[in-house]
Amino acid sequence: MAQSIENRIVKRIGGHGEGWAFTPKDFTDWGTRSLIGVSLHRLRKKGLIRMVMRGVYDKPGHSTLFNSPTTPDLHQIAQAIARNYSWTIVPSGETALNLIGISRQVPSKYIYFSNGPYKKYSCDGREMVFKRRSIKETGSLSWKTSIVVQAIKALGESNVNLEAKKQLAAYLTPVEMDKALREAKYVTNWVYEILKDLSHSRRRNG
């Protein structure tokens, strides 16, 4: 039984790819918390997964430059924590800008707005802070749509220049762009107009 669960876990992890972070709760549809824990322990001993913080694991990528595992992806870890506690989270504006690459500075603290309690976690020398805040406008958006919306808001209406528009558009695939337009119809009007402009520019430029 444990071996069967272990194989299923490996398959699910593989479906998400390298860097995906998860908790035991992501697999409880296949067995008890105890059985899941045993399976994760075995996979960890085999070197297939690693524990990045208490109760949170990931499938590490490999850096050819340094010939070592890649550093944990804090944004993946934040989403894993949110799933574990059934929180809805969106990145703060500065965190969204970093995710997209508009801000090149690597922050020591990643901030997320949440409908859960205030929480702070440390991982790999960096902090994740979950701040309780009303997220009515963005809470129903998919992860990537919420990132783009938060980034646009952080820049401000008059500061979304041509270079920023290129980076915002490049962050979304054509399918994700269409999804963002559908999802963001009821966000702040000027933000939605910028999203429409991004979509039209992409279509014009192919």
Amino acid 57 reads: Y
Can you read off the two tokens belonging to residue 167?
């980076």
Q: Write out pLDDT tens, residues 51-91.
A: 999 999 999 887 777 777 888 999 999 999 999 999 999 99
pLDDT score for 182: 92
Considering its fold, how many domains does the chain have in total? 2
What band does 137 get if pLDDT is binned at 50, 70 and 90? low
**79 and 139 both lie in a single domain:** yes
Burial of 179 (0-12, 13-18, 19+ CB in 10 A): middle
CATH code (residue 34)? 1.10.10.10
Can you read off the two tokens belonging to residue 110?
């990643």
**62 and 80 both lie in a single domain:** no
pLDDT score for 74: 92
Nearest to 152 by CA among 194, 199, 200, 201: 194
**125 and 30 both lie in a single domain:** no
Q: Write out pLDDT tens, residues 138-166.
A: 778 899 999 999 999 999 999 999 999 99
pLDDT score for 61: 83
- Sheet (strand 109-114) strand order: 89-91, 109-114, 126-132, 119-123
**183 and 97 both lie in a single domain:** yes
pTM of the entire predicted model:
0.85
